[in-house]
Amino acid sequence: MPKVTYVDHEGRASAVEVELGDNVMHGAVYNGIDGITGECGGGLSCATCHCYVDEDWVETVGGPSSQAEEELLEAVAAELRPGSRLCCQIEMTPALDGLVVHMPEHQF
């Protein structure tokens, strides 16, 4: 399984395996990673899975996957940055093995 490294706002990193086809938000929630809430369960309606894709991965991951994601990103609680994504919209593929995402200081 591919691995994702989640880095909290204080710089602590946790690497976990995330099943192919699942999303980065589920990887955090299912493995007890603090900093990703995912209140809507990945339904693209809450923006509590905001993350910053590491700059080394921005090109591979790409930008927001839909107009709905773009609109929700405009309302996130933390600073919006060029690598901002909702991690419920990042589906794990073999190309994302080793992905690094950073969590904002808060989701609310």
pTM for the model stands at: 0.95
Give the residue-averaged pLDDT of 56-74. 97
Give the pair of three-digit tokens for residue 30. Answer: 């299912």
What pLDDT, on a 0 to 100 scale, did the predictor assign at position 81? Answer: 96
| C-alpha to C-alpha distance for 70 and 63, rounded to whole angstroms | 9
Give the residue-averaged pLDDT of 51-65. 97
Confidence of residue 47 (pLDDT cuts 50, 70, 90): very high
Torsions phi, psi of 23, nearest 5?
A: -110, 165
- Domains located in the chain, CATH noted: 3-102 (3.10.20.30)
Mean pLDDT value across the chain:
97
